[in-house]
A and B are shown apart, each in its own frame.
Chain A
Amino acid sequence: MESAPATEPLLRLRGVTKIYQPDGQEVTGLEDVNLDIQSGDFLAVMGPSGSGKSTLMNILGCLDIPSSGTYEIKGMPVSRLSPEELARLRNREIGFVFQVFHLLPRYTALRNVELPLLYAGVGREERAQRALSALRAVGLEDRRNHLSNQLSGGQKQKVAIARALVNRPSLLLADEPTGNLDSKSGEELMEILARLNGEGTTIVVVTHDPAIARRAKRVVYIIDGRLVAREEFRELRG
C-alpha cells in the first residue's frame, strides 16, 4: 500500500494464503495477500471470475479462515478464533450482500432483516423496531410485510442491504451486488452504497464490472489469487 495509514486499520491482512484441497489436489485460492482497509473506506476488489475474489471475500467475511498468514479485524486475529467466535464476528462486525440475494423465501422482508438480530439475542420488540428502521433506510418500509419472493430483484437486494446493516457492523461486504439486477436497479443500489459510505459505513465490493469499481474510493486488482497493480492487471487482462 503506497501510503502508510496513520491509524490502526479496521482490517489488516498479512501474507494471507488460502489453499484448497478439494480432491487431494492442492488449489491455491489466495497467495500472499497484504491489504489494509481503513474504517470508512469504500474499496472495490476487481478481478475476473476464478481469480480469487470470492475467496478473499469469504476470508474478509469470516466465512473461511486463511491457510497461512494473519487476518485481523480491529486488531483481533481471526485465524485463531473458534467457529463459535467466527459466527459471533459475522453477526456483529460484518454484513453480507450477495449477488443472488440469499433471502429466506418464506419470510417477510421484515423478518429477513431481523435475522441477524435474532442470533445476536435481541428481544422481539427491539428486533422489529430496528429492522423497520433499517428497511426505512433503504426505502422499503412499505414492503415490510411482503414475502421476500414477492419482491423484485432490486427490492430483494435492498432488503439484503438492510439485513446487512441492521446489526450496525463495522464492515459491509458486497459480492457482485448488481450482478443480477437490471442497470437501473443496479444504479440505484450503488447510490445507496455510496450514501451509506458517506454516512461512515466501511464497504468492500467485489466485482468484475469497472463501472461499479469506479464508484469506490479505492480499487485493488486480483489475478490468480494475488493482488496486482493496476498496470499489471490491464496488461494481463489485455
Chain B
Amino acid sequence: MNFFEYARVALESLRANRLRSALTMLGVIIGVAAVILLVSLGEGTKKYVEEQFAGLGSNILIVTPGKIETKGGPPVIGAAKHKLTLSDSYVLEKKGYLFGGVAPVVFGTAEVRSGSRSRNVPVLGVTPSFSHVRNLHVEIGSFVSESDVEAKRRVCVLGRTVKRELFGNANALGQMVKVSGGRFRVVGIMQSKGVSLGIDLDDIVFVPVRSAQDLFDTDALLEIILSVRNKNDIDSAKELARSILFKNHNRHEDFTITNQAAMLSSLYTILDTMTYVLGGIATISLLVGGIGIMNIMLVTVKERTNEIGIRKAVGARDRDILLQFLLESTALSSSGGIGGMLIGVLGAWGIRLLVPKLPVEVPSWAIVLAFTFSVFVGIFFGVFPARKAAALHPIEALRYE
C-alpha cells in the first residue's frame, strides 16, 4: 500500500486525458462556483438588510393608528377615535413604567426656505425623547427641548443635507428659515446618518411636535415610537401599551403595535431560507457534476480493463485497484472543487466591484462546505466505477483488448 504512489498514478491518468478530465471537472467547477456565489449573494443580501436596519434597535415598539383586521361591523359613531393623538403619547409616558422613552411623531412635507434657497423636505414634529429613541443626535446646537414643545416654539433642527443646501458652509445656528411660510429659528444641526429604509435621514427638518401640529393643522400623529427599557420585557411592554391605549380609546383597539425586532428576525429567517434554497439548487448542479464523474470513470475503467488485469496478475489486491480508481475520481472532483472555489470567490469579488451597495462576502463555511461536498461527490460517484474495476476477474481483464 503506497498512497502517494496511487495518487501519482491517478494524476498521471488524468493528465493523459487532459481534455476529458477538464470537461469532467467543469461540471464540478460550475457546481462549486454556483454554491459559493449564490450563498455569498444570499449572505450579502442579508447583510445589506441588516445595515439598513442598523440603529433601529431591537427594543423598539411602534404604535400606528388603525387596525389591520377584516372582522367586525361598521364602527359605532363617536366611539372610535381612529387616530393617535398627543393624549395617547402622554398617557403612555405616565403609565408606561416599562418604557424608556415615548416619542410621538407628526409627519408632513413642507417647503423650507432661507433667503433665495428653498427645498421641499419631510418635516417631523418630535419631542426630545425622539433623539435617543431613534438614536439620532445633533452635531451642533441642541435638539428640540421639552420647553420648545410645551411653548410651541418655532424652532427647528436641520438635517445635514438640508443645512448644506440652504446655507452651504455658512453658519446656520440662530438663523431664521421659513417652513411653509412660518419663520423658524435654527437651533441645531443633526449628525450625518445616511439613508435607512429608503429615507434619507439627512434630508429632514425636525420641529417641536406641537409646532408641527399647528403647521400642518392636525392633531393626529404619524406614529408613537416606544423604546423598552429592558429588551426582555418587550412582549409585556407591548401588552402594557396595548391595554393603556385600549382604555384611552374607549375600549377600541383601533391601533397597531409593531415589534421591530420580531419583524426583523422573521425577515432574517426568510433571507436565511433563501440562502439555503439557493445553495441547495446549486448543490444539485454539483450532484450533476458528480454523475459526470461517474460516467467518465466508467469509461476509464472499461478502457483500462487490460491494465487492471496486468496489475492484478502482478499482485495488486482488489482494494489496491479500488483505491487507485477512487483516488482518480476524487482527484477529478477535488481539483474541480478548487477551481470552482477560485471562480466562486473571484465572482463574488467581481459582484462587489460591480454592485458596491451589495456587501457580497463569501462566508468561510460556504467554501469549506462546497469543497468538502465536492470531495465527497468524487468519492460517492467514484465508488461504483472503482468497485467495478476492483471486481474484475484477472483472467477476463487480461483477455480484454
Residues of A within 8 A of B (CB): 58, 61, 63-64, 83-84, 87-88, 90-92, 96, 98, 102-104, 106, 115-116, 118-121, 124, 163, 167
* Among B1, B310, B316, contact of A102 (Cβ-Cβ < 8 Å): B310
Partner of B313, one of A61, A83, A84, A118: A61
Alpha-carbon distance between A102 and B307 when the two chains are bound, in angstroms: 8
What 7 A-B pairs come out closest when comparing CB atoms?
A91-B315, A119-B315, A87-B317, A116-B314, A90-B315, A63-B394, A102-B310
CA distance A118 to B314 in the complex (A): 10
User: Is there contact, CB below 8 Å, between B5 and A118?
Assistant: yes
> Which residues of B are in contact with A by a Cβ distance under 8 Å?
1-2, 5, 12, 16, 306-307, 309-318, 320, 394-395, 398
Q: Could you tell me the distance between the alpha carbons of A219 and B376 in the complex, rounded to whole angstroms?
A: 56
Determine whether the beta carbon of A92 is less than 8 Å from that of B318: no
B391 to chain A: closest residue by CB: A83
Residues of B within 8 A of A84 (CB): 317-318
Q: With A63-B395, A104-B307 in contact, do A87 and B12 touch (Cβ < 8 Å)?
A: no
Q: In the complex, A58→B395 CA distance in Å?
A: 8
- Residue in B closest to A83 when the chains form the complex, CB atoms: B318
User: Which chain B residue shows the least CB distance to A116?
Assistant: B314
In Å, the complex CA distance between A58 and B399 comes to 12
- How distant is B43 from chain A, measured CB to nearest CB, in Å? 46
Cα A106 to Cα B9 in complex, Å, equals: 11
Residues of chain A contacted by B2 (CB below 8 angstroms): 118, 121
Determine the residue in chain A with the shortest Cβ distance to B315.
A91
Question: Are B310's CB and A104's CB within 8 A?
Answer: yes
Contact pick for B317, options A58, A96, A119, CB 8 Å: A119
Q: Which residues does chain A contribute within 8 Å of B310, judged by CB atoms? A: 102-104, 115
Residue of B nearest to A98 (CB): B398
Give me 11 other A-B pairs in contact (C-beta within 8 A), A91-B315, A104-B310, A119-B315 excluded.
A61-B313, A83-B317, A83-B318, A87-B312, A87-B316, A91-B314, A102-B306, A102-B310, A106-B16, A119-B320, A124-B5
Q: Which of B312, B314, B316 has the most CB of A within 10 A?
A: B314
B residues in contact with A102, CB < 8 Å: 306, 309-310, 313, 398
Contact A92 B314 (CB under 8 A): no
A119 near B316: Cβ-Cβ < 8 Å? yes
- Contacting residues, chain A, for B314 (C-beta < 8 A): 90-91, 96, 115-116, 119, 163
Q: CB distance B307 to A120 under 8 Å?
A: no
- Contact between chains at A121 and B318 (CB < 8 Å): no
Contacts of B5 in A (CB 8 A): 118, 124
Interface centre among A58, A64, A90 (most CB of B within 10 A): A90
Q: Chain A residues near B316 (CB, 8 Å)?
A: 87, 119
Q: In angstroms, how far is the closest chain B Cβ from the Cβ of A96?
A: 5
What's the nearest-Cβ distance from chain A to residue B10, in Å? 13
A-B contact pairs, 27 of them (CB 8 A): A63-B312, A63-B394, A64-B395, A87-B315, A87-B316, A88-B317, A90-B313, A91-B314, A98-B398, A102-B306, A102-B309, A103-B310, A104-B310, A106-B16, A115-B310, A115-B314, A116-B314, A116-B315, A118-B2, A118-B5, A119-B311, A119-B314, A119-B315, A119-B320, A120-B315, A121-B1, A167-B315
Chain A residues within an 8 Å CB radius of B12: 106
Chain A residue contacts of B307, Cβ below 8 A: 104
Most B C-beta atoms less than 10 A away, residue of A84, A91, A163, A167: A91
Q: In the assembly, what is the distance between CA of A167 and CA of B315, in Å?
A: 10
Q: How far is the CB of A88 from chain B (nearest CB, A)?
A: 7
Identify the interface centre among B12, B316, B320: most chain A CB within 10 Å of its CB.
B316
Residues in A neighbouring B318, C-beta threshold 8 A: 83-84, 87
